[in-house]
Structure 1
Amino acid sequence: MLVLIIRTTILYLVIVVALRLMGKRQISELQPSELVTTLLISNIVSLPIENTDIPLLAGILPILLIICFEVFLSFFSLKSRGFRKLVTGSPVVVIREGKIVQQELKTLRMTVEDLMEELRLKDIFKLEDVYYAIVETNGQMSVLPRYCVTPVNNKDMQLQGSDDSPDIVLVSDGKMLYHNMQEIGVSSDFILEKAGASNCRVEDIFLLTCDDHRNIKLVKKEQVK
């Protein structure tokens, strides 16, 4: 049993490192080669775990080899447009100037129901509201709505203002996040001051966020009854 635990732990760490080298993507955002890599790794790693007679190295080496293939594919894709097109494909326009490109739907083996579902996921419920729709190489759909249904923004209304920075988490579950504090230039004294102003300790803070203008939002931990 101890051997199985050790083997599983080692393989788990190898997979974490391997996937970290591939970069951060959700399953729905994987390119075909990345999806194949993920599936192969999941199958290979199960063999040494299920059968302890298989040497651990026999599971680790194929994983490292597959990751090397993926890294090389990514490298050559960056260097060669033709190779990138061969490996990942090209975006496909399925709605052009408001008209469905039926031939492209057939090429993608995509039904009208699939198309309408993707549009609804983009909060578009009427086909006539779409000017362009493009299926990207990762399978996601990008939609350009017609001008008449495009939401009005501040630029359209000629409103003056400035860009706001996102809120940065400075305290999470009672712990200061020093890297984030350094990023926006605040010290521990700033956190302690805000905690004191809210009559609580840092340990009592569930969440504290701050932006570049020093606007904060503090949420205290709920009392356990």
Structure 2
Amino acid sequence: MPTWLEVIFRTIFAVVVLFLLTKILGKRQVSQLSFFEYITGITLGSLAAYISLDTDKNWHLGMIAILVWVAISFGIEYLQLKSKKARDFIDFKATVLIKNGKVLEENLKKERLTTDDLLEQLRGKDVFKVADVEFAIMETTGQINVLLNRENQPLTPKHLGIKVAPEKETQAVIMDGKLMPEPLDMMGKTPKWLMDELEKQQLNLQDIFLGQVDSYGDLTVDLYADNVQVPQPQEKPQVYALLKKCEADLELFGLASDRQDAKKLYEQCSSQLQQVIADLKPLLRT
């Protein structure tokens, strides 16, 4: 067999083996590389290159070395799952860098971070003032996570006492001009509903690159033609405006009525409608 052809076959073989072994080790090898996993990744890549290019008769030894490395890595991951002490020893412990707005210099030196490094990491979290930080911790992956103190945390509906409907995952119901039945069914919608929504916006299915339905049942689309503006649905703003008009009418009727019982009834209904509008406002103003 020609050498160049042998190299091609060995490379394909090495790629397939690495892919299968990576699947065995799991997603953590890619998403959360620890110190040992980082070394393992480099070593496996080097061994795969040896299998592909070393044309002597001992290339199979590289395959044995790969299997040994994967077995050790798999064993260490299993040990980490079973033992907290093993996790701390292999992956190290998380380190607190800032507490109550004060930088812990000793921990900073321990992790070999300069003040510039810390400030750079904080700016990456949209934090520009150390005093605004309640707690900052360096994880075992090297990432720094930040908790702002309460007065600097962004407002949420809970802070304002507003109840919002539970969120569902947004589903892609149209891809590459084709309808996706399963995501549509997950959102409790039918193909007829989707076609009716497209008809309201005067759109054709084959012209849509991507269509998504959010947790409120709204359809948003991205067309192949980037210069075409898609009209946005206006049902929710119209409902909100109608409710506000009803509220204003009830107040007006109450002011115009000469009967005290009627005034009281109109005021009561207006107050109840105000509460309904306040509860629905997060949904109707989106």
Q: What is the TM-score when the length of structure 1 is the normalising length?
A: 0.85
Q: Give yes or no for contact 1:48–1:54 (8 Å, CA) kept in 2.
A: no
Which residue of 2 is the match for residue 3 of structure 1?
6
Q: How does 1:190-209 map to 2 (within 5 A)?
A: 194=197, 202-209=205-212
Q: CA deviation at 1:182?
A: 5.0
Q: How does 1:108-119 map to 2 (within 5 A)?
A: 108-119=111-122
Which residue of 2 is the match for residue 128 of structure 1?
131
Please give the secondary structure, in 1, of the residue aligned with 2:135. strand
Matched-pair identity in %: 27
Is residue 2:50 matched to residue 1:47? yes
Is residue 2:83 matched to residue 1:67? no
Please give the secondary structure, in 2, of the residue aligned with 1:42. helix
Query: Which stretch of structure 1 is more off in the superposition, 78-87 or 210-219?
Result: 210-219
For the pair shown, the structure with the greater C-alpha radius of gyration is: 2
Tell me which of 118, 138, 141 is aligned to 1:138: 141
CA root-mean-square deviation: 2.6
Post-superposition CA distance 1:25-54 (Å, at most 9, x none): 586731112111111111111112222325
Q: CA deviation at 1:136?
A: 0.5
Please give the secondary structure, in 1, of the residue aligned with 2:145. strand
- Paired with 1:121 and 1:133, the residues of 2 have a C-alpha distance of 13
Q: CA deviation at 1:10?
A: 1.8
Q: Give yes or no for contact 1:77–1:83 (8 Å, CA) kept in 2.
A: yes
Q: Give yes or no for contact 1:168–1:211 (8 Å, CA) kept in 2.
A: yes
Please give the secondary structure, in 2, of the residue aligned with 1:142. strand
Which residue of 2 is the match for residue 159 of structure 1?
162
Q: CA deviation at 1:126?
A: 0.9
Unaligned runs of 5+ in 2: 227-286
- Paired with 1:63 and 1:176, the residues of 2 have a C-alpha distance of 44
Aligned residues: 223
Unaligned runs of 5+ in 1: none
Q: Give yes or no for contact 1:95–1:101 (8 Å, CA) kept in 2.
A: yes
Q: CA deviation at 1:144?
A: 1.1
Q: CA deviation at 1:5?
A: 2.0
Q: 1:41 to 1:192 in 2, by over 3 A?
A: farther
- Paired with 2:22 and 2:158, the residues of 1 have a C-alpha distance of 41
Query: What letter corresponds to residue 132 of structure 1 in structure 2?
Result: F
Query: What letter corresponds to residue 115 of structure 2 in structure 1?
Result: V
Is residue 2:216 matched to residue 1:180? no
Q: Which has the higher helix share?
A: 2
Q: 1:71 to 1:111 in 2, by over 3 A?
A: same
Query: Which stretch of structure 1 is more off in the superposition, 52-61 or 210-219?
Result: 52-61
Which residue of 1 is the match for residue 89 of structure 2?
86
Which residue of 1 is the match for residue 174 of structure 2?
171
Q: CA deviation at 1:174?
A: 2.9
Q: CA deviation at 1:2?
A: 2.8
Query: What letter corresponds to residue 140 of structure 2 in structure 1?
Result: T
- Paired with 1:52 and 1:122, the residues of 2 have a C-alpha distance of 50
- Paired with 2:195 and 2:7, the residues of 1 have a C-alpha distance of 47
Greater RCO, 1 or 2 (C-alpha within 8 Å, sep 6+): 1
- Paired with 2:201 and 2:51, the residues of 1 have a C-alpha distance of 54
Is residue 2:150 matched to residue 1:147? yes
- Paired with 2:13 and 2:180, the residues of 1 have a C-alpha distance of 30
